[in-house]
Structure 1
Amino acid sequence: MRKTIILCAALMSSLAFSQTKTDSIQLDPQKQINAAQRLLSGNYASAVTVGAYGEMLYNQPNGQNGELDVQRLVLLFGYRFDDRTQFVTEVEFEHVEEVYIEQAFVNYNAAPNFNVRGGLMLVPMGIINEFHEPTTFNGTERPTIDNVIVPTTWRELGVGVTGRFNAISLGYQAYVFNGFKSTEADGEGGVNGKLGGSSGLRGGRQKGIKSTINTPNLSTKLDYYGIPGLRLGFSTYFGRTQADDDVQEFDGSDIGIAMFGLDARYAYQKFTARGQFIHASLSDTEEYNTLTNSNLGSALQGWYLEGAYNILPMGNRQKLFAFARYETYNTHADVAGNLTKNEAYDRTDVTTGLTYHIAPGVVVKGDYQFRSNADDDSDVTDRLNFGIGVWF
């Protein structure tokens, strides 16, 4: 028992000295980094680094009972083997009942502004999939487009390169990943589909869990930061979905994907703004829907615009942002064959509220969402949300 106590004390002591330093609230999008980038930044006191971020939310749909939830708690661990080689991992607990590995990769700095990475990594599409720590975005919930069009948190196994061309203010990322899993055998000689009309590609994420691969997929992103306060992103993703060995010969077992995204973030004094556009073209969906009895659309598309203003004086350590976001997204932007567009999948959310940074790394949020869709016979419930987020 005494040895156990001594061991625990030594471990806690080592972690205390290996914590990453607390960052101030960084509003300049050109200087913002996510959790993995922070562990890789060299801002540590020893080879071992630790951190975490988490969100506790309250959602109250109109006319229904509210829900309280520890939506996620993510533990961050990093290790520096030498000046060029590092390992980063994120362990995520969702709703206090599910455990996932969100990231786990080795980063090798092969040359200045040139890194080689391999492992379980985030697909660089849009803003939120890479920058989803609760202190980095307005709104209790992440933008819905980053749930049904970009299936955040979207991560897969692969290998790639990343770095910057500082002379032209351009950052780059390029990866080869395994793709979405579209079908699997149902055990009775049939085929189950994992993709659908309402949720798009989300059900096909493999998340590094015994992932199937028969055709690799290519993901790229360019970030331009040559104008003060402005960061522009252009993302692409091309490839095909994956299927189990015993069903991949069926016509329609997989589909083709061509996705691209444009995003922008801007900050000037007390004002910040961001916007995003995502379009995905899916091929062979008619055959896929016939095989799986699904209603997957042949095009997914969405966009949003958001503006925020800090109500408190510029010199204050705390910040209180009033914000508004308009987003529209459609998982039946187009359909193939005899499939009829479902107007309920053409959705619009208007979110307005407050984001209160009470200390670096601690945020309290409250907002109201006006939600609707294009189907006159469908009723979408508006929602009141509150939340607490931390990141250290």
Structure 2
Amino acid sequence: MVVTGLNANGFDRNTWIAGGKQGFFEEDNFTSPAYVARLDYKGVPGLRVGASFYYCVNAGSNSDKAATYSKIGSIPVRIYTADAQYINKYVTARGNIVYGNLGNSAALSGKNTQLSNLSPYSRITPIAKNAVSYAGEVGVNIRSIFNNSKIPVIYPFARYEYYNPQEKGEKRQTMDKRNQVSMWTAGLNWYALPNLVIKADYTTRKIGTSKIFGKGRYNSENEFAIGIAYIGWFIKK
């Protein structure tokens, strides 16, 4: 399964979540269904603001061996998201935030350490109570700003992102600071053709800090990337 979005820099970002397809010999329990609500506002030209909420009363009862987690009580899962986008001829701007809350995470961590090495579930602990990710990005259209059709369609852009799957734990849980990432990306997109984008960017990741302009206790990761993207239909509808 792939979730696809478009950056303010005009380039597709694909996030692989999981295989998404149930195996031939797999069986999914539906003891505790999840509920999702989503609301979008588009009352202003070029603006979209949205929010969503995901809730599962007891994720433990949906496991293939529900008895493993039944003695620790309910394991509720809550995921809150908010996102906004504004586009006009000069600027493309986007922002989003995802915040997750897992109930009974300390007891769940304790149970998972007792799982067999042959278990299909991850045995990595501790499992965090809270996970968070937020980002903001902006790109500008140089041609529109100077109102000159002879200038190539070039979008300089900048993006800031913070994420941490172990943002906070329950009492007596120690979270791994190496999962804490503060990241800047800056670059250019050149639309050589209406459907053809040539992209170059530089990214720096600060590991072990939540500061926007700060250095973590671990080595930073820096990379330069260049790519080409074509936007179009390969198969007729």
Normalising by structure 2, report the TM-score: 0.75
8 A Cα contact 2:137 2:158, kept in partner: yes
What does the per-residue CA deviation read over 1:195-216, in whole Å, with 9 as the maximum and x for residues that have no partner?
Answer: xxxxxxxxxx561324623222
Question: Shift of residue 262 of structure 1?
Answer: 0.9
Q: Which runs of 5+ in 2 are unaligned?
A: 114-124, 210-215, 233-237
1:268 aligns with 2:88: yes
Count of aligned pairs between the two proteins: 203
Cα distance in 2 between the residues matched to 1:288 and 1:361: 48
Match in the other structure for 1:132: 5
Cα distance in 2 between the residues matched to 1:140 and 1:296: 33
Match in the other structure for 1:257: 77
Match in the other structure for 1:372: 206
Cα distance in 2 between the residues matched to 1:327 and 1:221: 23
For 1:138, the aligned partner's letter is: N
Select 2:162's aligned residue among 303, 324, 328. Answer: 328
Match in the other structure for 2:111: 291
8 A Cα contact 1:253 1:288, kept in partner: no
1:279 aligns with 2:99: yes
Match in the other structure for 1:390: 230
8 A Cα contact 1:265 1:274, kept in partner: yes
For 2:5, the aligned partner's letter is: H
Question: Shift of residue 153 of structure 1?
Answer: 4.2
What does the per-residue CA deviation read over 1:121-174, in whole Å, with 9 as the maximum and x for residues that have no partner?
Answer: x8xxxxxx4x426xx6528784xxx9xxxxx445xxxxxxxxxxxxxxxxxxxx
Question: Shift of residue 323 of structure 1?
Answer: 0.4
Normalising by structure 1, report the TM-score: 0.47
Match in the other structure for 2:120: none
Match in the other structure for 2:29: 213
Cα distance in 2 between the residues matched to 1:236 and 1:274: 20
SS at match of 2:156: strand
Q: Which runs of 5+ in 1 are unaligned?
A: 1-101, 103-121, 123-128, 147-151, 155-204
Select 2:221's aligned residue among 381, 385, 390. Answer: 381
Sequence identity (%): 24
What does the per-residue CA deviation read over 1:32-52, in whole Å, with 9 as the maximum and x for residues that have no partner?
Answer: xxxxxxxxxxxxxxxxxxxxx
8 A Cα contact 1:350 1:371, kept in partner: yes
Question: Shift of residue 304 of structure 1?
Answer: 1.2
For 1:361, the aligned partner's letter is: N
What does the per-residue CA deviation read over 1:333-364, in whole Å, with 9 as the maximum and x for residues that have no partner?
Answer: 21024221222222100000011222233221
Cα distance in 2 between the residues matched to 1:254 and 1:347: 31
Q: Do the aligned partners of residues 262 and 153 (structure 1) sit closer, same or farther apart at CA in structure 2, a change above 3 Å counting?
A: same
Select 2:174's aligned residue among 329, 334, 340. Answer: 340
Cα distance in 2 between the residues matched to 1:381 and 1:286: 31
8 A Cα contact 2:164 2:180, kept in partner: yes
8 A Cα contact 1:139 1:353, kept in partner: no
Question: Shift of residue 253 of structure 1?
Answer: 10
Cα distance in 2 between the residues matched to 1:253 and 1:311: 57
SS at match of 1:250: helix
Question: Shift of residue 268 of structure 1?
Answer: 2.6
For 1:271, the aligned partner's letter is: V
8 A Cα contact 1:257 1:281, kept in partner: yes
Match in the other structure for 1:88: none
